[in-house]
Amino acid sequence: MNISDIPFGVTDWSQIERSEHAGETGMAYWRTQVFGALRVRMVEYSAGYLADHWCHKGHILLCLEGELHTELEDGRRFVMTAGMSYQVADQAEAHRSSTPGGARLFIVD
């Protein structure tokens, strides 16, 4: 990752407009900022959320609260709790998220 041409800034995530994204079940709520080529998001998944697609985008993801279940298209599964993170490159391994009780995430992609 090459981060360039982004001046110092502070983000108050509570002031960023929230967008809604329906999953196969449940909802995802994104607060999104774009800095050059970087998209940075604070994401909340409702209880019972299941993504409606396999994602091929690369991410660095940090679980802030709750429990996130990540399934790879090849069948591997991972459970992440607060303080755990994952990273995956663009087009590397398709993945999708779900959560039984809800989760709050910080994602850079």
Express each pLDDT in 23-46 by its tens digit: 999 999 999 999 988 999 999 999
Residue 98: burial class (beta carbons within 10 Å; 0-12, 13-18, 19+) = buried
In the chain the domains, ranked by start, together with CATH numbers, are: 30-108 (2.60.120.10)
Main-chain dihedrals φ then ψ at residue 82, nearest 5 degrees: -50, 130
Secondary structure of residue 23 in the 3-state scheme:
coil
Rounded CA gap, 74 and 13, in Å? 34
The pLDDT of residue 1 is above 80: no
pTM > 0.95: yes or no: no
The pLDDT of residue 2 is above 90: no
